[in-house]
Homo-oligomer: A and B are copies of this chain.
Amino acid sequence: MSIRVMGIDPGLTRCGLSIAEGGRGRAVTPIAVGVARTPADAELPDRLLRLSNAAEEWMDRYEPDVVAIERIFERGNVSTVMNTAHAVGVLMLAAARRGLPVHMYTPSEVKKALTGNGRADKAQMTTMVTRILGLSEPPKPADAADALALAICHCWRAPLLARAKEALR
């Protein structure tokens, strides 16, 4: 049985979007990858509407079973963190509207899942994403690799989560 995951690297200026399918074992098939951008000079509510529309369009076109979103850390610029938190709000809402479960992963959880090292750098991550998906070259756009990594992370976690849920019953 396969699972189709939408991986989202949230952001308001650029938001990485991906769709990947997990099956038996560690095999993961990439379906789509891209970046939704919103203009920095537009009003905040308008930017959130554009992002929401982009995410909803992907959900309607690719019909994922589940959504994996990167968990925000309060590092860096405060207004960037706030904008990202607003973005995560509308992304979770888009999922909830379709009854899609949402799973959150920290950057280090994703890095650890893919490379065994929670502090892997960008180059290592891109190499692993390329290898796991059996691509002949790194995925493009380059800044969407994180969204694919999130989808891969959830594809690998899903069987464990399903077994844990089963055990709890």
Q: Which residues of A contact B (CB under 8 A)?
A: 43-46, 48-49, 52, 72, 74, 78, 82, 85-90, 92-93, 95-97, 102
Query: CA separation between A142 and B74, bound complex, in Å?
Result: 32
Q: Which B residues are in CB contact (< 8 Å) with A44?
A: 92, 102
Q: Which B residues are in CB contact (< 8 Å) with A90?
A: 89-90, 93
Known contacts A48-B96, A49-B93, A86-B88; 5 additional CB pairs below 8 A are A48-B92, A49-B97, A74-B78, A82-B85, A93-B93
Q: Which residue of B lies closest to A78 (CB)?
A: B74
Query: CA separation between A34 and B149, bound complex, in Å?
Result: 43
Q: Which residue of B lies closest to A85 (CB)?
A: B85
A102 smallest CB distance to B (angstroms): 5
Q: Which B residues are in CB contact (< 8 Å) with A46?
A: 96
A82 smallest CB distance to B (angstroms): 6
Query: CA separation between A87 and B78, bound complex, in Å?
Result: 17
A73 smallest CB distance to B (angstroms): 10
Question: What are 6 A-B pairs with beta-carbon distances under 8 A?
Answer: A49-B93, A49-B96, A49-B97, A72-B82, A82-B85, A89-B89
CB <8 Å contact, A48 and B78 = no
Q: Which has the most chain B C-beta neighbours within 10 Å: A93, A96, A97? A: A93
A52 smallest CB distance to B (angstroms): 6
Q: Which B residues are in CB contact (< 8 Å) with A96?
A: 45-46, 48-49
